[in-house]
Amino acid sequence: MSSGDASSSPAPAAAIPFPTLTILYLPSEAKAVIDEVGQKYPNSTVEDCVGFFHGSQKHYKKVTIWSQGIDSLWLNAVVARTKELAGVEFVTLVSGGMMYVL
């Protein structure tokens, strides 16, 4: 391969800003928070689901957000408001392939 070929190669894949995927499992009682997420991140979907995150079967909204990153202060506020509205001790989320409870 000559040095001329190297200059015509495409940019490395790392230069492409791939979005991240974050999934929040919000109790249905936190409808106001779910609406707020949709307003802040229009690249999101909301699906009904049932889970056992809080020890018994409960209805949740699975909120999937595609973005270049989530504002951590905003996310902490969403978690705090969800806890208050739904009367739960934690919120379950998946980010970077790992499940967390906040």
Q: What domain range includes position 74?
A: 17-101
Residue 5 lies in a domain: no
Q: What is the pTM of this model?
A: 0.78
Residue 11 lies in a domain: no
Whichever domain contains 53, its CATH number is 3.30.70.120
User: Which of 7-11, 46-50, 57-61, 94-98 has the weakest average pLDDT?
Assistant: 7-11
Residue 21 lies in a domain: yes
- Tell me the CA distances in angstroms from 32 to 20, 35, 37, 47, 78, one per residue in order: 24, 5, 9, 15, 10
Residue 6 lies in a domain: no
What DSSP letter does each residue of 28-66 carry, written as one string? Answer: GGGHHHHHHHHHH-SSEEEEEEEE-TTSS-EEEEEEEEE
Count structural domains, the chain.
Answer: 1
Q: What is the pLDDT of residues 42-65, one digit of tens each?
A: 899 999 999 999 899 999 999 999
